[in-house]
Amino acid sequence: MATATETKNLRTPIVCVMGHVDHGKTSLLDKIRGTAVVNKEAGAITQHIGATEVPLSTIRSLCGNLMSGTVVIPGLLFIDTPGHHAFTTLRSRGGALADLAVLVVDITEGFQPQTIEAIKILKQFKTPFVVAANKIDRIQGWTPTKNGPFILSYNKQPDYVKTAIETRTYELVGKLSDLGFSSDRYDRVRDFTRNVGIVPISAKTGEGIPDLLMVLIGLAQRFLEENLRMTVTGPGVGTVLEVKEERGLGFTIDTILYDGVIKVGDTVVIGGKDKPIVTKIRALLKPAPNREIRVEERFDRVPKLTAAAGVKILAPGLENAVAGSPLRVAKEDSVEAIIKDVEGELEKARIVTDETGIMVKADTLGSLEAIINELRDSGIKVAMAEVGDIARKDVVNAETLPGSLNRVILGFNVQTLVDAKDYLQTSDIKTFNNNIIYKLIEDYEKWQKEQKDLAEKKRFEEIVRPGKVRYLPNCTFRQSKPAVIGVHVMGGCIKPGVTLIKPDGSKVGIIKQIQERNENQSIASQGKEVAVSIDGPTAGRQINEGEIYYVDIPESHSKVLEFELKDTIRQDELETLMEFVAIKRKGNPFWGR
Ligand SMILES: Nc1nc2c(ncn2[C@@H]2O[C@H](COP(=O)(O)OP(=O)(O)OP(=O)(O)O)[C@@H](O)[C@H]2O)c(=O)[nH]1
């Protein structure tokens, strides 16, 4: 076992925790934050604004002799807000802010929709991740060893408990494989660049957390050394986590610094609502541990900070800052260039939309981008996309979208404002709201299918259907005005209002009424013998007993029947249609093509 050594010029990797609702993301973060308290020997855990830092020395003492190899990174910085929503909101130069992710899966429930959604996002951002198979303490028969490494606890369990863990781990391996990742329990993974490690943990007992931290360190070193070898001494670069008004302080921004150094007095450029904000840092604030919560004392003031760190920044003009946007420290001669850079980054983040499609509203640029990617994967085009609640003007804009199936607004994690709700009552725009991407897409797709089916049904009902009848011998009930004759429906059907033609293409007349045993009928299908009244001909002159007539189908309807509905119409209808089409094509081979 080699000893771990620190190398100061690599920055701390940033880690985000993701997973399905209730699988234990918050509990895991709480456990990590509480570790130092629980385990005195474990060493310090530093609380940042919006993040928790676990220094290497802490990880080392937690892992004991599990840790091997040379460690060259200073520790891990966990973003305190869990969920893939936070992950997509926090961006750095067009990518994800988090260098690594922990995907929490409840081992007793396995993969759930949001687990899959998180994996898709991680894949999209190419973020290395580890699976924390949580709640192992709930496996029947599990005897916990608090805060211990998983392997040590596992070895103490009876065989049936071991088997249960193994079986459930392999279920996760199977699911990951379906999604294109090869994986195994972390202690069996040799190459973390090829395999995803699964670490069984309990956020309740703390078991497996040392192993999880260790795997994260390993991942960071294998994947990220180049990324982490940043200009730790250069001008600071960060991402705005949150814009907050603090009592007694005014507007502040909680920021994750992921590169370089930031100092009080530095000029910074920040993404703003309309344009980049240029301002001077008045104070850098860190949480003050264990103090009375009085504003002035809630924070410690620090003169400077080095990446990676979470910090609250106090400066004039922050009220227009935008969460998720970039922050850059600028030297006097570089302000203009950096403003351009920040503008460029915001521009890049702006969503590229399709010419036609639906409207999407989401709460942040990151989530908007994530949802648009998912929609495109599902073959759904997006014509309008914006950050913000659904307002009346959005509904008005959506009304200009061509195509009835596009006249919808998909809202992700946003409200429908009152004026929009009022306007929607008289508008044909449909809105969908959800804070789970897959559900939003599923709801829209379901609606889309219903609409298509409905339209198809309507179209089908309106189409003149094929029909073939024979004028029965001895069944002339009236000669003319209208002629009333008995017919046998040989194929398809007839309805009042259709025109009949002869096999030579000449017109017979229009069916006025159909009667069966003196009762009016709206349709007579194959096999029926009915009386029909026909406007136009005189029986015995233009029409004669024993003749065959066809329903005259308009050319456009014939095309639909022959080319779109061919597989859905009955055999006798199809045969009748083909005979009818042949009559038409005798005179014009291109008829109905
Ligand atoms: N037995 C046991 N319960 C756990 C464990 N981890 C979390 N829980 C419980 O599971 C429930 C959900 O945990 P949370 O940490 O709130 O889950 P989450 O993923 O953060 O949930 P959301 O924030 O709602 O998405 C809580 O009742 C926790 O106490 C664990 O390892 N073992």
pTM, to two decimals: 0.67
Query: Strands, E, within 447-517: which ranges?
Result: 467-478, 483-494, 499-501, 507-516
In this model, does residue 298 exceed pLDDT 80?
no
Instruction: Indicate the burial class of 338 (C-beta count within 10 angstroms; 0-12, 13-18, 19 or more).
Output: buried
Query: Are 71 and 237 a contacting pair, CB within 8 Å?
Result: no
Closest ligand 1 atom to the C-alpha of 30? 15
CA-CA-CA-CA torsion for 36, 38, 41, 42, nearest 10 degrees?
Answer: -40
The 10s digit of each residue's pLDDT in 419-430 is: 999 999 999 999
Position 289 scores a pLDDT of 63
Position 334 scores a pLDDT of 86
Position 5 scores a pLDDT of 42
The 10s digit of each residue's pLDDT in 43-76 is: 567 778 888 888 888 888 877 777 767 777 888 9
Identify the three-state secondary structure at position 336: helix
In this model, does residue 3 exceed pLDDT 50?
no
Bridge partners of residue 493, in order along the sequence: 525
Continuous segment of H or E residues that includes residue 412: strand 408-412
Neighbouring C-beta atoms of residue 22, cutoff 10 Å: 13
Ligand 1 lined by 137 (C-beta under 6 Å): yes
CA-CA-CA-CA torsion for 415, 418, 421, 427, nearest 10 degrees?
Answer: -120
Query: Are 237 and 327 a contacting pair, CB within 8 Å?
Result: yes
Give the mean pLDDT of 201-209.
94
State the chain's mean pLDDT as an integer. 87
| b/e sequence 140-174, b meaning 16+ C-beta within 10 Å | eebebeebbbbbebbeebeeebeebbeebbeebbe
Query: Are 358 and 291 a contacting pair, CB within 8 Å?
Result: no
In this model, does residue 291 exceed pLDDT 50?
no
The 10s digit of each residue's pLDDT in 264-277 is: 999 999 988 778 99
Separation CA 38–CA 418 (nearest Å): 49
In this model, does residue 95 exceed pLDDT 50?
yes
Separation CA 325–CA 368 (nearest Å): 14
In this model, does residue 27 exceed pLDDT 70?
yes
For residue 374, which of 436, 431, 430, 416 has the smallest C-alpha distance? 436
Position 418 scores a pLDDT of 93
Give the mean pLDDT of 116-143.
92
In this model, does residue 356 exceed pLDDT 80?
yes
Number of Cα atoms under 13 Å in the Cβ half of residue 192: 23
Ligand 1 lined by 206 (C-beta under 6 Å): no
Number of Cα atoms under 13 Å in the Cβ half of residue 108: 12
Neighbouring C-beta atoms of residue 303, cutoff 10 Å: 9
Neighbouring C-beta atoms of residue 578, cutoff 10 Å: 12
Domains and CATH numbers, the chain: 4-230 (3.40.50.300), 237-349 (2.40.30.10), 358-458 (3.40.50.10050), 467-587 (2.40.30.10)
234 CA → ligand 1 middle, Å: 40
Continuous segment of H or E residues that includes residue 445: helix 437-462
Position 281 scores a pLDDT of 96
The 10s digit of each residue's pLDDT in 459-505 is: 777 889 999 999 999 999 999 999 999 999 999 999 999 999 999 99
Closest ligand 1 atom to the C-alpha of 134? 31
> Which percentage of the chain shows pLDDT scores above 90?
52
22 CA → ligand 1 middle, Å: 5
Q: Quick one: tokens of 317?
A: 């003009």
Position 4 scores a pLDDT of 40
Closest ligand 1 atom to the C-alpha of 21? 25
Alpha helices in 268-310, H assignment, sequence order = 295-298
Separation CA 192–CA 195 (nearest Å): 5
Position 348 scores a pLDDT of 59
Separation CA 443–CA 448 (nearest Å): 9
In this model, does residue 123 exceed pLDDT 50?
yes
In this model, does residue 1 exceed pLDDT 50?
no
In this model, does residue 347 exceed pLDDT 60?
yes
The 10s digit of each residue's pLDDT in 222-274 is: 777 666 665 566 789 999 888 888 888 889 999 999 888 999 999 999 988 77
Whole-number Cα distances in Å, 323 to 240, 245, 277, 384, 521? 5, 13, 13, 21, 68
Whole-number Cα distances in Å, 259 to 324, 328, 451, 480? 16, 10, 51, 95
In this model, does residue 40 exceed pLDDT 70?
no
Pocket test of ligand 1: the residue of 18, 20, 22, 212 to mutate, having most ligand atoms within 8 Å of its CB, is 22
- Which has the higher per-residue pLDDT, 307 or 172? 172
Q: Give the residue whose CA is nearest to atom 2 of ligand 1.
A: 135
Position 221 scores a pLDDT of 81
Task: Name the pairing type of β-strands 129-134 and 100-106.
Answer: parallel
For residue 210, which of 162, 147, 137, 134 has the smallest C-alpha distance? 147
18 CA → ligand 1 middle, Å: 12
> Which percentage of the chain shows pLDDT scores above 70?
91
Q: Give the residue whose CA is nearest to atom 9 of ligand 1.
A: 24
Ligand 1 lined by 450 (C-beta under 6 Å): no
The 10s digit of each residue's pLDDT in 144-194 is: 988 888 999 999 999 999 999 999 999 999 999 999 999 999 999 988 888
Ligand 1 lined by 134 (C-beta under 6 Å): yes
Q: Quick one: tokens of 42?
A: 């474990």
